[in-house]
Amino acid sequence: MTNSENRTVSISKSFSVLVEETTREDIPLKTGTKQSKWYNCNEDCMGGSKFINVAFGVLTIIVTIALIVQIYYGDYQVVPHGSVATDSLECSRVGTQILKQGGKAVDAAIASAFCMAVVAPHLTGLDAEGQVLIYSHRTRISPDLVDFSGSNVISDRMPRLVLGLAYIHQQYATMPWKSLVEPSIGIARFYLLDNATIAVEAAHSPKFQLELLEYLKAAHREPVLMPEPYYSSNAVEKLKDELSSHSDSRGGGIASRF
């Protein structure tokens, strides 16, 4: 049932329009504004494209937060094009292998430095001195300088390079010390030095030539040492013991060759 009313709405002084209004008696009028809660939302507020837009917005925020957390606090990811460059191909492979095992750049540098002391004694050694500059792209703070030169080493009983790398490993590395030293131990046992390269480098080093001359003079004054059989050396005995420890219980394998 409806009730019709007529009223005149003035638009200007000379014009007027007649508006017919219809009021439904089954829907009572209420004063004030309509207030709705987010938890009382009906199909009108979340219908159509509104629900899709809200869903995509929430998903975008979640993915963005997850990526930020992964970048700054996630585990180190080894990229396929990561590499290590040294003066020796063998040492570069050692450093790259450390990266593949999940090590950081500091771990690869420590392993490569030990390797260089083995394969290139004319370039570096375990008692070498130097500085290491370490920068973290995550913290973006000023880089740290580790100086293990002769004047800064607190102990005169340990080689300077070993002390410096040990400190760097304690402060920045993630892999065990044993995993970083073992590759160089294996190279020291089985690697053949490139004598031609060492000879070329020695020819351009006056200091090496003087040391060699002093050594030859001392050797001339000392009695000539008789050569010993190869298998009588202590190094081979230690190598035999090491290889024997990896043989099977039946005494076969590598141990049976000795």
Could you tell me the mean pLDDT of each successive run of 10 residues in the chain, 258 residues long? 46 46 55 56 64 86 90 64 84 92 92 90 83 85 84 69 90 92 86 69 75 66 50 49 46 34
Contact between 135 and 105 (Cβ < 8 Å) = no
Within-domain flag for 213: no
Backbone angles phi, psi at 22, to 5 degrees: -120, 125
What's the distance, CA 181 to chain centroid?
A: 18
| Count of structural domains within the chain | 1
Within-domain flag for 105: yes
Within-domain flag for 70: no
Within-domain flag for 230: no
Contact between 82 and 98 (Cβ < 8 Å) = no
Within-domain flag for 132: yes
Q: pTM score, two decimals?
A: 0.52
pLDDT score at 126: 84
Within-domain flag for 221: no
Contact between 146 and 164 (Cβ < 8 Å) = yes
Within-domain flag for 169: yes
Within-domain flag for 35: no
Q: Which domain holds residue 96?
A: 80-188
